[in-house]
Structure 1
């Protein structure tokens, strides 16, 4: 494996080697497959194992991996898609695929998805954002989603012996835990990803597509019920009504030891334990509860898809790499190495020994993604959902505030 930057355009490399595109410098006849992965998405150890195994099975191929930063990645990917020197494989956020597919610069991977990758078993929250107008452009790679992280000692002190099975029980134990210097739950007022799950549980949406146009939908009765539940849950703690979960970082608040629950990805635990080593071994996990005990609550599912640019010089070789990375063998390896949720519901069993990841996998089965509009990034750039939530939590009229927020979402989603 070679980690390199893309300092030379492919045309110049081809001219230097005099061997044509796909021929490596030095006269090698191997096919170079350039891959962009996001910083910290995989460990060096996983990447070394995958690369070594893949190149052994494909001796005519050499994989060249470059790690990219999330900051500014959208513009960088768009520039690559518009160039004549795109990498063969790019890791992208699952909710970014629609934006890139709109450019007509992605390889249609529908055939591979159905024939080779068992797409009928994929997590919907990863698969649906990669599907545009019936064609699959993004291949699900890995998932991560929020769970409830709880302090076992505080639960025991309150006489709570097991996690709640549904939302009503969750409210009851959160209220019971709240008091005597303990916050039942720390939930910031603008944690809109968590709100989205409650809205979906009620049958609502953040936005809906009508006749080819997208419209905000926070003002519907179902979405308002989701906000009402959020308000009740948030009241069982002292989370700030006018800030999100990173202001201040909720992991730091939880690490103080007087918060019973937070809603976060399990990867927050190492940071919590580093801040307060006394909590090591005292933290537990359970999926966000649903309305009934039959199914967990809906959650926003984040993660990554893999795309192949249409203008990549070695598209076929890139597709083969994507099929390998998304295969059951390497999905299992990735899940065990990185504590991710695999891309298939049928692979959830491979991480059963890891309490946090197993809780994520249960919730991931009910995972959803943000509206599959190419303009959704514009909504998040100046997110009207956050001030809407704050206004409702501060006692403003929920219906009026929701209609105003829906209007702003609609405006942002207009091409």
Structure 2
């Protein structure tokens, strides 16, 4: 089956040029990263997000130097801002002067894979590809081929108050889900005099968390059956996980059922909860905040939970994995050079550099060493071993944009719908959106 060109209504018209330039058949040739390539006199254009510039530019520079030494080609790295990078990419892909290598967030990649904006690669050419993190790799795969290379990741973990654990007689982080609930009960009992306290901060529209609970019981959001996508939230395994999450939120959380998780670190820092489920970096965000939140240059100041937090994997709950991938544009005139640069930038040497900068490497085979080399990322490294990714469907971004899952969760938590009715409603919405022509 052919990848649909960007003229399909769901894909922005500006991508048409990118899709029309190459073959879109499932047996289209892949770009090889093996062997030697003579790049003398050529310059490779690479678009990376600004995180690489601020956090691990030394890794970028080292990989580029090794690439230049091996090929003779130069590298021009242009750092992009998250706020406007997709708008800029769409406009650029409509022309002919395109970057050869592009970084995108893992949830951003599928749209461009379906549109034909990126060329296929051969995973076997890249180090550690046999154990690439599924939460990253899932965004790259389509109809038997791979269209991007996992770059780095971040995982969600359980962040908790060590002082409140001690006060409640809890000596260690929970090792099982039963331990987690037992800890929540003890924390709730220890703070029963505080009417504002909830053992777990879990905002009602936190769909990444709710779907992680769905995944924990073997459920799913949607799956492909032939040419159609079928919502799975009303299936028994999904209902079990969804009910488990609802029970948790209702019993232990004082968070607003109509609110998402965007400011949960700041809310947690106010001291009215003992645990929350968040990105590993949110531990630091909860401990320190800007003195003037409206001034990006304002200095950081400690919050009331500074020095009182620790992190651990959420037991028995797979982690939604955030992160980035790297692709070779279909219009690139330097595809083999692009593959060689990505190969250097994602090899074990580069991954070790990312680990030093507190990022997770791109493969499960590297996670144990990452945790040993940098204890600060150990909880996230353990959590990343069991990760998940949303349905790799052309219209998935439209599901997110329409807030189907958020609406379902709020309706359930506020009593507007039962778990079963909410799940059935969400399935109907997902079916309509994902199968829209």
Q: TM-score if structure 1 supplies the norm length? A: 0.86
Q: 1:137 aligns with which of 135, 143, 147?
A: 147
Native 8 Å contact 1:85 1:313 kept in 2 = no
Q: 1:174 aligns with which of 175, 184, 190?
A: 184
Distance (whole Å) between structure 1 residues aligned to residue 87 and residue 230 of structure 2: 26
Match in the other structure for 1:379: 399
Unaligned runs of 5+ in 2: 1-38, 290-301
Distance (whole Å) between structure 2 residues aligned to residue 288 and residue 159 of structure 1: 20
The 1:377/1:327 distance shift into structure 2, 3 A limit, reads same
Matches within 5 A, 1:394-413: 394-395=414-415, 396-413=417-434
Match in the other structure for 2:133: 123
Distance (whole Å) between structure 2 residues aligned to residue 53 and residue 319 of structure 1: 13
Residue 343 of structure 2 is aligned to residue 344 of structure 1: no
Match in the other structure for 1:256: 270
The 1:45/1:222 distance shift into structure 2, 3 A limit, reads closer
Native 8 Å contact 1:51 1:63 kept in 2 = no
1:216-272 Cα shifts (integer Å, max 9, x gaps) = 2211111111111111211212011111112xx111111122321111112112222
The 1:397/1:350 distance shift into structure 2, 3 A limit, reads closer
1:320-357 Cα shifts (integer Å, max 9, x gaps) = 111111101101101211x1111111111223354452
1:291-315 Cα shifts (integer Å, max 9, x gaps) = xxxxxx2121111110000211222
Q: 1:226 aligns with which of 241, 248, 272?
A: 241
Q: Look up the SS of the partner of 2:240 in the other structure.
A: helix
Q: 2:280 aligns with which of 261, 266, 282?
A: 266
Q: Look up the SS of the partner of 1:279 in the other structure.
A: coil
Match in the other structure for 1:87: 99
Match in the other structure for 1:6: none
Native 8 Å contact 2:180 2:315 kept in 1 = yes
Match in the other structure for 2:261: 245
Q: TM-score if structure 2 supplies the norm length? A: 0.82
Shift of 1:57: 5.2
Q: 1:64 aligns with which of 55, 72, 76?
A: 76
Matches within 5 A, 1:10-409: 30-40=41-51, 42-44=52-54, 46-52=56-62, 54-55=64-65, 58-59=68-69, 60-110=72-122, 113-178=123-188, 179-181=192-194, 182-234=197-249, 235-246=251-262, 249-275=263-289, 276-290=302-316, 297-337=317-357, 339-348=358-367, 349-352=369-372, 354-395=374-415, 396-409=417-430
Q: Look up the SS of the partner of 2:210 in the other structure.
A: helix
The 1:390/1:159 distance shift into structure 2, 3 A limit, reads same
Native 8 Å contact 2:68 2:75 kept in 1 = no
The 1:327/1:66 distance shift into structure 2, 3 A limit, reads same
Structure 1 vs Structure 2 CA RMSD = 1.9
Shift of 1:55: 2.5
Paired residues in the alignment total 376
Native 8 Å contact 2:120 2:146 kept in 1 = yes
Shift of 1:147: 0.2
1:109-150 Cα shifts (integer Å, max 9, x gaps) = 12xx11332311111111122111111111000111110110
The 1:260/1:45 distance shift into structure 2, 3 A limit, reads closer
Unaligned runs of 5+ in 1: 1-27, 291-296
Native 8 Å contact 1:202 1:226 kept in 2 = yes
Shift of 1:288: 1.1
